[in-house]
Chains A and B, each alone.
Chain A
Amino acid sequence: MTLAAVSDAGPLIHLAEIDSLELLATFDTLLVPETVYKEVDAGGVPDGLPGLSYELVEADESRVKTEELDAGERAAIAVAEERGAVLLTDDLAARDTASDTGVEVRGSIGIIALGYGRGLLDRHEAASRMRALQRETSLFVTEAVVERGIDMLDDQ
């Protein structure tokens, strides 16, 4: 199955923090709105980003009418809606807004699971990256929830 995705800043930052940006190459097409790139760039472009194949796209974030989300999140939702792409975000509010408009949404843990599902990572490596995401990055997620996700890897 062909997979196209558009990312907001969250997964780009969180995956970079655990040296896992290469997992985004699992997607056949990766789109990054210019607004998102600027947000990421403000903190210094992560090491793995220049080596990644992605398309910088313009977005009309004003299409997404909510003040709860930042410009990058709104831009990513607008692109996902327009192109029928999966939205990659680790923000629960962005997830809710996107889901309400019918956009499919996944986060960094889903990207690691995808890497495992497609054979890029073995079970040990996938589990270790999920734990690193919880312990070593700015992503807030309850430890027990991550362990539940790791248990699910064995269900495959």
Chain B
Amino acid sequence: MAAEISDRVRELAEARGLPESEVFEQALERGLEDLWEDLVLARYLDGELAREKAIERVGRTKVERAEREREVVEGDVDWGLNA
């Protein structure tokens, strides 16, 4: 895995004409953004964060998508446990 990461960083740096340090920086920012969105949506779905606040932080599309997914997953799990 470590070797694969190094190879990818090298290839990205070459393709984008960037230093490898900047590739790492962008990867960290993008990863953090994902983790942040997961946290906001988890707090919203757990009832710890108001819907409007969640929309403010990650956008309406992501909140609505998570709501739709929740409806689907809850329905599916309930079915699976009782079918």
For residues 19 through 49 of chain A, which have their beta carbon under 8 Å from a beta carbon of chain B?
none
Interface size on B, residues (CB 8 A): 24
Instruction: Collect the chain B residues with CB atoms within 8 Å of residue A141's CB.
Output: 69, 73
The interface bits of chain B over 35-72 (1 if a CB of A lies within 8 angstroms of the residue's CB, else 0) are 00010011011100000000000000010011011101
Report Cα–Cα, A95/B68, bound state, in Å. Answer: 11
A153 at the A/B interface (Cβ < 8 Å)?
A: yes
Instruction: Collect the chain B residues with CB atoms within 8 Å of residue A111's CB.
Output: 80
Question: A145, B70: Cβ atoms under 8 Å?
Answer: yes
Interface size on A, residues (CB 8 A): 29
Among residues of A, the one whose C-beta sits closest to the C-beta of B42 is A144
Instruction: Collect the chain A residues with CB atoms within 8 Å of residue B45's CB.
Output: 144-145, 148
Among residues of B, the one whose C-beta sits closest to the C-beta of A104 is B79
Among residues of A, the one whose C-beta sits closest to the C-beta of B76 is A110
A122 at the A/B interface (Cβ < 8 Å)?
A: no
A15 at the A/B interface (Cβ < 8 Å)?
A: no
Chain B nearest CB, measured from A105 CB (Å): 9
Question: B68, A113: Cβ atoms under 8 Å?
Answer: no
> With A141-B69, A141-B73 as given contacts, are A112 and B38 in contact (CB-CB < 8 Å)?
no
Among residues of B, the one whose C-beta sits closest to the C-beta of A108 is B76
For B38, B72, B79, B80, the residue with the greatest tally of chain A CB atoms inside 10 Å of its CB is B80
Residues of A within 8 A of B (CB): 1, 3, 92, 95, 106-107, 109-118, 141-149, 152-153, 155-156
Residues of B within 8 A of A (CB): 38, 41-42, 44-46, 62, 65-66, 68-70, 72-83
